[in-house]
């Protein structure tokens, strides 16, 4: 993305990053807090790292766009080799279509006739998930009412007991596939699943649970004969076999990767497609602990690209500080923000305050406040600018209409970065 040169034109009316128009770069300490920043050097590192790993593993990638809902970032992923983009709702699918994404995996379902008619418009192939015969009948009837002129390609989702959506048994999934073949306005384009709904653990028992599910998913695919996909193949599509979030994509490649055959050398044209999304920004806690690259020997590492900046607005007790950031600005569903460092402005300029947040921790969030527990000797002071790391990017980014870009590269020692531009989101 080329940094925008006019901040006032770049920002919507609801922007949280409000400031007087002037050329980039803008010193970070001159912006009102809170501010969410994304390090573009790290962003590109993560995108390139995942693209290279998928290429070497011999599979495709359709990263989950809901993580950022930022077409600028999607384009970076596509430019790096991603086959498509995954979305979760009909609205997100339309954002992707308008952004010019050619291949869209819609990991969800809509019954709206108007939304379905948009999905089948020429320009993009949107592959929607279905997991029941009832769903097939309702969607087919809606397309019939709308006089659809193109069939909607669908992926039959296989789930598992205790999971999220998805047919619960092989027989149920096969019945859904048969219903799709009999439908007038649907075409079977492949099978889908999501192993991350079964567990968040990385212990041996959790990994075995994932492996068992993936074995069932490949069995489902094997019980569908080649004729099941003839119509889709005749339309120029490739059969899609997709799974893989951000925690177990290595297990998915091990279990399903041998089926990747987009040229049809070994049979019908087939693409094994991962849908990992959170890797693009990574984080400081949840995915830092769970990423497969922590389990793969000699693997490259993702780096956290997002930082949340807040000010110390109160220190009413020696061991308590309040920051002007809260649930409206950051996720707390998978862990609280993590204090990284602090900066202080004086007549001599802005300087990092070594040790200011050492042994300090965020203990709770209100709507607009973060409670920080401090050791008695802490030097953190009112007015200090604090850099926070986040846990779970998906439920942090969705609180922002715009993300300020920096090009810090996680350099050490750190100087306070400047804002070089803005990336807009479409939530």
- Digit-coded pLDDT (tens) for 48-69: 999 999 999 999 999 999 999 9
For 47, the 3-state DSSP assignment is helix
Q: Are residues 170 and 239 in the same domain?
A: yes
For residue 274, being part of any structural domain is answered with yes
For residue 147, being part of any structural domain is answered with yes
Cis peptide before 34 (omega within 30 of 0): yes
For residue 1, being part of any structural domain is answered with no
Q: What is the dihedral of CA 316, 317, 320, 326, to 10 degrees?
A: -20
Whether residue 274 is predicted with pLDDT greater than 90 in this model: the reply is: yes
Q: Who's near 192: CB < 8 A, 6+ residues apart? A: 105, 107, 129, 155, 156, 157, 158, 240, 241, 242, 243
Q: Are residues 185 and 322 in the same domain?
A: no
Spatial CA neighbour of 62 closest among 135, 125, 7, 140: 125
pLDDT at 17: 54
Q: What is the mean pLDDT of residues 226-253?
A: 96
For 396, the 3-state DSSP assignment is helix
pLDDT in tens, 101-112: 999 999 999 999
Task: Count how many domains the chain has.
Answer: 2
Structure tokens at 197: 């709904």
Which of 226, 253, 282 delimits the end of a domain? 282
Whether residue 216 is predicted with pLDDT greater than 80 in this model: the reply is: yes
Q: What is the CATH number of the domain that holds 268?
A: 3.20.20.10
Q: Are residues 189 and 259 in the same domain?
A: yes
Q: Who's near 141: CB < 8 A, 6+ residues apart? A: none
- Residue 273 near residue 261 (C-beta atoms within 8 A): no
Q: Are residues 214 and 232 in the same domain?
A: yes
For residue 248, being part of any structural domain is answered with yes
Which residue range(s) make up the domain with 15? 7-40+302-424
Q: Are residues 79 and 115 in the same domain?
A: yes
Q: Are residues 389 and 307 in the same domain?
A: yes
Distance CA 154, CA 137 (A): 13
Distance CA 46, CA 341 (A): 23
Structure tokens at 414: 């750190």
Q: What is the CATH number of the domain that holds 386?
A: 2.40.37.20
Distance CA 32, CA 388 (A): 15
Q: Are residues 173 and 258 in the same domain?
A: yes
User: Which stretches of 257-322 are DSSP H helices?
Assistant: 286-290
How many degrees, rounded to 5, is the angle at CA 9 between CA 82 and CA 80? 10
């Amino acid at each position: 993305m080329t940094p925008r040169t006019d901040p006032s034109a770049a920002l919507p009316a609801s922007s949280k990053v409000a400031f007087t128009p002037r050329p980039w770069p803008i010193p970070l300490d001159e912006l009102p807090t809170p501010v969410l920043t994304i390090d573009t050097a790290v962003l590109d590192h993560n995108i390139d790292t995942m693209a290279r790993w998928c290429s070497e593993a011999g599979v495709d990638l359709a990263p989950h766009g809901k993580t950022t809902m930022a077409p600028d970032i999607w384009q970076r992923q596509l430019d790096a080799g991603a086959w498509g983009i995954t979305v979760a709702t009909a609205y997100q699918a339309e954002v992707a279509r308008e952004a010019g994404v050619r291949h869209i995996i819609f990991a969800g379902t809509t019954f709206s006739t108007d939304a379905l008619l948009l999905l089948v418009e020429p320009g993009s192939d949107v592959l929607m998930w279905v997991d029941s015969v009832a769903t097939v009948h309702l969607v087919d009837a809606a397309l019939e009412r709308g006089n659809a002129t193109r069939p909607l390609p669908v992926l039959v989702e296989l789930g598992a007991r205790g999971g999220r959506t998805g047919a619960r048994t092989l027989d149920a999934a096969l019945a859904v596939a048969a219903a799709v073949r009999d439908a007038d306005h649907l075409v079977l384009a492949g099978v889908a699943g999501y192993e991350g709904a079964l567990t968040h653990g990385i212990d041996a028992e959790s990994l075995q649970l994932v492996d068992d599910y993936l074995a069932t998913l490949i069995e489902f695919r094997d019980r569908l004969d080649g004729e099941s996909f003839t119509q889709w193949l005749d339309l120029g599509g490739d059969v899609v076999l997709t799974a893989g979030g951000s925690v177990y994509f290595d297990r998915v490649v091990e279990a399903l990767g041998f089926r990747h055959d987009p040229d049809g050398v070994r049979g019908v044209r087939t693409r094994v497609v991962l849908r990992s999304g959170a890797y693009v920004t990574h984080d400081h806690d949840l995915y830092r602990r769970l990423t497969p690259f922590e389990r793969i020997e000699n693997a490259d590492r993702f780096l956290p690209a997002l930082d949340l900046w807040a000010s110390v607005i109160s220190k009413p007790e020696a061991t308590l500080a309040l920051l002007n950031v809260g649930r409206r600005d950051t996720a707390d569903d998978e862990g609280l923000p993590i204090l990284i460092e602090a900066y202080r402005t004086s007549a001599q300029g802005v300087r990092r305050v070594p040790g200011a947040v050492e042994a300090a921790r965020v203990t709770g969030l209100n709507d607009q406040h973060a409670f920080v527990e401090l050791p008695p000797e802490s030097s953190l002071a009112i007015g200090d600018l604090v850099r926070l790391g986040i846990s779970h990017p998906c439920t942090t980014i969705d609180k922002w209409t715009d993300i300020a870009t920096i090009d810090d590269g996680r350099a050490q020692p750190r100087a306070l970065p400047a804002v070089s531009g803005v990336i807009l989101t479409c939530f």
